[in-house]
């Protein structure tokens, strides 16, 4: 096993510790990737807060980009030195959900407590989100990577591992936005801006951003929002309807705030969809009147990682980025070193960032 530096969570709601850990070489079907950039996602923060449980110590981080430094047995469709994304979408390829084209919901369990990571003393170290990308290197299953052109800056490319695909996919794949639709996106943070981009790409006629901050609503227009409504409005759903001339075909909730979920159906037209993207803490509940869903044919549906199929979706997103039709560079607020990760997390929690990114000096293979 080789020694690498990583940000380790030893206790929930405490700063991560930068220390040496042990990383096993890639086994059959696995790849080793030198991480060039990894974004701070709110899911990593929630795990580090203990919002969804899990064992400690752990190395989180799942929105990465880097270069392959070693290939495990049986991996033949990638090459050492190739630039790849590192995602949490781990799929076996054979279970019922994978076989039906839904790899995000793979049913084959993965033991994160006995993955490739160990403490410096050889103790258990959880392979957080099956990635452990808050580290100089990561070993993941080959299904968790996707190639991208090396000329794309890693700090921008890494957003395609989670934030971008989650928001864009929620609009394109889950909501199935069509040309002419009215779309409401609640939350204009990093994922929300990508949901707005997805609705724009899909041809929505009206894209109404809803947020607590006027500054975020103004920024949302740069990503494709046609209108903005402050969530502090006494009845923001009425304001949205007035702007569009009718209720929404799709409402994408991209924040984990319960009030956003409580009000989401109020924006919705008969037959429309509320898409749950933002993830509240375990145990948090929302309320609505089921009779309204039944009487109006409305849908309430979840979207995990934008229902992304890496081999299908990354290619066209990269193509749109290279054409200048998909914004990634503009989503990067600031870059930090691994030693500054707690500063980056604090800034993200404060709501200042679209995406803060940890970048690494190039490591040899």
Q: What is the pLDDT of residue 306?
A: 97
Classify domain 2-161+327-359 at the CATH topology level: Quinone Oxidoreductase; Chain A, domain 1 (3.90.180)
- The domain segmentation of the chain, as residue ranges, is 2-161+327-359, 167-304
Q: How much is the CA Rg of the chain, to the nearest whole Å? A: 20
pLDDT value, residue 364: 58
The one-character DSSP state at 270 is: E
CA distances from 10 to 19, 50, 111, 119, 339 (A): 11, 11, 19, 11, 16
Distance, CA of 132 to CA of 182 (rounded, Å):
39
Instruction: Specify whether the CB–CB gap between 138 and 35 falls below 8 A.
Output: yes
Q: Rounded CA gap, 165 and 290, in Å?
A: 30
What is the reported pLDDT for 292? 86
Show the 3-state SS of 209-237. Answer: EEECCHHHHHHHHHCCCCEEEECCCCCHH
| Residue 209 β-bridge partners | 185, 228
* pLDDT of amino acid 365: 57
Instruction: State residue 53's pLDDT score.
Output: 87
User: CATH topology for 167-304?
Assistant: Rossmann fold (3.40.50)
pTM reported for the whole predicted model: 0.95
pLDDT by position in tens, the chain (length 365): 999 999 999 999 999 999 999 999 999 999 999 999 999 999 999 999 999 988 999 999 999 999 999 999 999 999 999 999 999 999 999 999 999 999 999 999 999 999 999 999 999 999 999 999 999 999 999 999 999 999 999 999 999 999 999 999 999 999 999 999 999 999 999 999 999 999 999 999 999 999 999 999 999 999 999 999 999 999 999 999 999 999 999 999 999 999 999 999 999 999 999 999 999 988 999 988 889 889 999 999 999 999 999 999 999 999 999 999 999 999 999 999 999 999 999 999 998 899 999 999 866 55
97 Cβ neighbours under 8 A, 6+ residues apart: 103, 105, 106, 107
């Amino acid at each position: 096993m080789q020694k690498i530096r990583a940000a380790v969570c030893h206790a929930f709601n405490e700063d991560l510790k930068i220390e040496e850990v042990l990383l096993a070489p890639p086994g059959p079907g696995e790849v080793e990737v030198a991480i060039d950039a990894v974004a701070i996602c709110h899911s990593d923060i929630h795990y580090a807060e203990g919002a969804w449980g899990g064992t400690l110590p752990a190395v989180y981080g799942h929105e990465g980009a880097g270069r392959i430094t070693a290939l495990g047995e049986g991996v033949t469709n990638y090459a050492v030195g190739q630039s790849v994304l590192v995602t949490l979408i781990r799929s076996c390829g054979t279970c019922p959900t994978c076989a039906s084209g839904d790899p995000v919901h793979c049913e084959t369990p993965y033991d994160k407590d006995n993955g490739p990571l160990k403490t410096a003393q050889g103790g258990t170290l959880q392979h957080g989100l099956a990635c452990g990308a808050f580290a100089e290197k990561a070993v993941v299953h080959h299904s968790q990577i996707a190639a991208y052109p090396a000329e794309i800056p890693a700090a921008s490319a890494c957003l395609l591992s989670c934030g971008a695909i989650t928001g864009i996919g929620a609009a394109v794949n889950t909501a199935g936005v069509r040309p002419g639709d009215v779309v409401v996106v609640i939350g204009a943070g990093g994922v929300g801006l990508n949901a707005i981009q997805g609705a724009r790409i899909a041809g929505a006629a009206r894209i109404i951003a809803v947020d607590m901050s006027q500054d975020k609503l103004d920024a949302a227009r740069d990503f494709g929002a046609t209108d903005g409504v402050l969530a502090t409005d006494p009845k923001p759903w009425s304001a949205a309807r007035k702007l569009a001339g009718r209720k929404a075909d799709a409402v994408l909730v991209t924040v984990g705030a319960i009030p956003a979920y409580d009000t989401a159906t109020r924006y919705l037209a008969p037959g429309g969809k509320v898409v749950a993207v933002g993830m509240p803490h375990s145990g948090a509940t929302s309320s609505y009147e089921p009779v309204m869903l039944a009487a109006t044919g409305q849908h309430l549906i979840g979207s995990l990682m934008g229902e992304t199929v890496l081999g299908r979706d990354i290619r066209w997103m990269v193509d749109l980025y290279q054409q200048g039709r998909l914004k990634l560079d503009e989503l990067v607020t600031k870059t930090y070193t691994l030693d500054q990760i707690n500063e980056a997390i604090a800034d993200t929690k404060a709501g200042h960032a679209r995406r803060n990114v940890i970048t690494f000096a190039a490591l040899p293979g």
